């Protein structure tokens, strides 16, 4: 790597006190895994999402740690995924944790390097690191690949300034993501309170009556989704194709979040880039519904297009706020999963969506729910847009800072505050 400015090429080993991988306790011993929050955080490679790690999907017990090759790492350890589809993905620990065998932990020597600088430098030079991976069917890094990998290292004060500038963006992104999670949880809890537990406003005054779905409030009913919405109503027609599109594919959607969009000329777009969306549409991947690839579309650009692999549900007689939560419950995911056909790629059809049975509350209850929840969903959308800008700005700065092209002494670490 060509270096500019007062940078020195050093191996990762030269800036670390410890480099090692972790392990997985035997699944044959349930006592090795904690069923509550008392165990040790245990990071898996799929949880390395190029950011800070505060919590994990699973925890292991003291016995699990003692009877496996899992190792404990301190706060600020940089983590690198070594195997498979996640190879080269990064993270760093906000608090002490253990990791599995697919992760290499880098305990950075604070006298030599700033752990955040090492994290950002590995992110910037990720392609070079991944190029060291071996294997035909599956690309794998090993500890020697990582130890011997060379990165540009300026003096420690410059590292800290670079890290502080980039971290300011990530801190804002993380704060926005936390606000989004809180708002989404509030809205989901309200949906469950009103429409699952049936504790909607003034519910004490409404009698429960028998229905096919069990006891429901008087004046409510059940119906097919097709009575409340249309599925796949709009697609690009021949002869009226746009010159350019913003395209969302299935890989870019997971559990309520659109992680990316591609700007393409229509002539270069995949054949699946045909489905049009509008404000309030719910998109749901028809393939492998158990993966929960769904999202709510708000205020889309006129040229936003999604894959025909999605079912696009547009409300006609129910507000999108209600439909979104009704169509993303665990029960609805189970309904789709049970109706999916095909061995290699189990999938559902538009008909499976249309024939799904939904509870239909009275109009005034739906309207009141929408009035409360819609502002929450719209704020989540705006915060997501802000994060997109912050990501883009950080990614533009990253190569210029790491290469030494920008003089960090002339930059204000507060510039992230003005990015949006």
Domain ranges, ordered by start, for the chain: 7-154, 221-360
Residue 319 has pLDDT above 50, yes or no: yes
Residue 409 has pLDDT above 80, yes or no: no
> Could you tell me if 283 and 297 are in contact, meaning their C-beta atoms sit under 8 angstroms apart?
yes
| Residue 211, pLDDT score | 87
CATH class of 7-154: alpha beta
Q: What number does CATH give the domain 221-360?
A: 3.90.220.20
Q: Tell me the backbone φ, ψ of residue 99, rounded to 5 degrees.
A: -140, 165
Question: Between these two residues, 173 and 37, which has the higher pLDDT value?
Answer: 173
Dihedral sign of CA atoms 176, 177, 179, 183 in order: positive
Which residues contact residue 410 at a Cβ distance below 8 angstroms, ignoring those fewer than 6 apart? none
CA 274 – CA 309 distance, rounded (Å) = 10
Q: What is the mean pLDDT of residues 351-369?
A: 96
| Spatial CA neighbour of 386 closest among 364, 418, 343, 349 | 418
Q: What is the mean pLDDT of residues 253-267?
A: 90
Matching CATH topology for 7-154 and 221-360? Answer: yes
| Residue 333, pLDDT score | 96
pLDDT band at 226 (very low <50, low <70, confident <90, very high): very high
| Residue 253, pLDDT score | 92
Residue 119 has pLDDT above 90, yes or no: yes
pLDDT band at 213 (very low <50, low <70, confident <90, very high): confident
> Could you tell me if 95 and 41 are in contact, meaning their C-beta atoms sit under 8 angstroms apart?
yes
- Average pLDDT along the chain: 92
- The DSSP annotation for 337-401 comes to HHH-B-SSS-B--HHHHHT-EEEE--HHHHHHHHHHHHHHHHHHHHHHHHHHHHHHHHHHHHHHH
Q: What is the mean pLDDT of residues 396-401?
A: 91
| Residue 4, pLDDT score | 43
């Amino acid at each position: 790597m060509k270096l500019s400015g007062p940078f020195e090429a050093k191996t990762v080993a030269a800036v670390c006190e410890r480099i090692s991988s972790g392990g997985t306790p035997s699944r044959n011993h349930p006592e090795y895994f904690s069923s509550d929050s008392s165990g040790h955080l245990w990071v898996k490679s799929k949880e390395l999402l190029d950011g800070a790690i505060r919590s994990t999907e699973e925890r292991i017990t003291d016995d699990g740690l003692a009877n496996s090759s899992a190792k404990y790492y301190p706060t600020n350890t940089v983590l690198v995924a070594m195997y498979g589809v996640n190879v080269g993905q990064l993270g760093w620990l906000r608090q002490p944790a253990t990791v599995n065998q697919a992760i290499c932990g880098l305990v950075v020597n604070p006298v030599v390097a700033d752990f955040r600088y090492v994290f950002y430098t590995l992110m910037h030079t990720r392609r070079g690191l991944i190029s060291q991976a071996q294997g035909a069917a599956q690309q794998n890094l090993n500890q020697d690949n990582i130890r011997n990998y060379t990165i540009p290292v300026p003096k420690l004060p410059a590292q800290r300034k670079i890290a502080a500038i980039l971290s300011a963006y990530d801190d804002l992104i993380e704060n926005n993501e936390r606000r989004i999670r809180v708002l989404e949880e509030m809205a989901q809890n309200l949906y469950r309170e009103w429409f699952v537990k049936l504790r909607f406003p003034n519910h004490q005054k409404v009698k429960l009556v028998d229905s096919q779905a069990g006891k429901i409030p008087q004046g409510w009913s059940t119906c097919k989704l097709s009575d409340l919405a249309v599925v796949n109503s709009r697609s690009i027609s021949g002869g009226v194709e746009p010159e350019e599109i913003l395209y969302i594919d299935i890989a870019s959607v997971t559990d309520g979040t659109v992680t990316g969009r591609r700007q393409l000329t229509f002539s270069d777009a995949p054949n699946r880039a045909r489905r049009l969306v509008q404000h309030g549409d719910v998109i749901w991947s028809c393939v492998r519904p158990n993966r929960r690839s769904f999202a709510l579309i708000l205020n889309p650009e006129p040229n936003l297009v999604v894959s025909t692999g999605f079912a696009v549900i547009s409300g006609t007689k129910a507000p999108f706020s209600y439909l979104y939560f009704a169509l993303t419950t665990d029960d609805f995911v189970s309904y789709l999963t049970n109706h999916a056909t095909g061995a290699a790629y189990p999938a559902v059809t538009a008909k499976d969506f249309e024939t799904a049975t939904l509870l239909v509350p009275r109009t005034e209850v739906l309207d009141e729910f929408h009035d409360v929840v819609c502002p929450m969903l719209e704020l989540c959308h705006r915060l997501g847009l802000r994060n997109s800008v912050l990501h883009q700005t950080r990614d533009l700065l990253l190569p210029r800072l790491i290469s030494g092209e920008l003089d960090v002494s002339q930059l204000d670490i507060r510039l992230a505050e003005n990015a949006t």
